[in-house]
Chain A
């Protein structure tokens, strides 16, 4: 079955750029989206169709997807960005989620 692999955690200093990867076989051939989940809250969409931002999502969030890896990039990371991030793709009539990455803003 298809799998999406994310690093368990990523650390970043405030104001720096954070990159969270999501790896899967030929993932670049599929649309990938990203969700942010803060403690005690529901997930919220931050990137869809690889690189599109929903309205209300800050410009510092961007996405890319090529080859076997999709990447969520947060430029000028803020303390409020500390959260769990999940990638999602579709394969063989099934929604696949990555295992999630905890972004730690030090």
Chain B
């Protein structure tokens, strides 16, 4: 079945970077992209960006431009999201989700990765 499995929880200091992975399986990975969405504690969903697995094209949310980088490793069918210069308000659960295009719906979602930023 289609499945996205994410890496484990992380604790980081302010100013550090974090890299979250998302391994896709159960479908032809290069025919879809991966979106990243985060959810701060008790808050709603925030889209971070999308990456085309086939050619690496990206589309980032404007407010994260310059701090976020999305990459993929096609042989291992794994997508990565790196967020730099972490702040306390970056504390959130980070999700990856399959979507054909950045404008498309997200299905399915990974299990989520909690990133805690604390001094």
Binding site for B on A (CB under 8 A): 31, 33, 35, 42-45, 48-49, 54, 86, 88, 90, 93-100
Contacts and interface: CB of A to CB of B under 8 A. Distances in A.
B111 A45 contact: no
A95 B47 contact: yes
A70 to B, nearest CB: 13
A12 B6 CA distance: 35
17 contacts: A35-B45, A42-B112, A43-B45, A43-B97, A43-B106, A43-B109, A44-B108, A44-B109, A45-B107, A48-B105, A88-B45, A93-B102, A94-B47, A95-B35, A95-B103, A96-B47, A99-B44
A90 B102 contact: yes
Contacts of B46: 97
A100 B97 CA distance: 18
A80 to B, nearest CB: 19
Chain B binding surface SS class = loop
Nearest to A98: B44
Contacts of B97: 43
A96 B47 CA distance: 7
Nearest to B49: A95
B59 interface: yes
Chain A binding surface SS class = strand
Given A42-B111, A42-B112, A97 B47 contact: yes
Contacts of A88: 45, 105-106
Interface of B: 35, 37, 44-47, 50, 59, 61-62, 95, 97, 102-103, 105-112
Which of B45, B95, B108 has the most C-beta atoms of chain A within 10 angstroms of its own C-beta?
B45
B45 A94 contact: no
Contacts of B47: 94-97
Contact of A86 (B44, B61, B110): B44
B44 A100 contact: yes
Contacts of A31: 103, 105
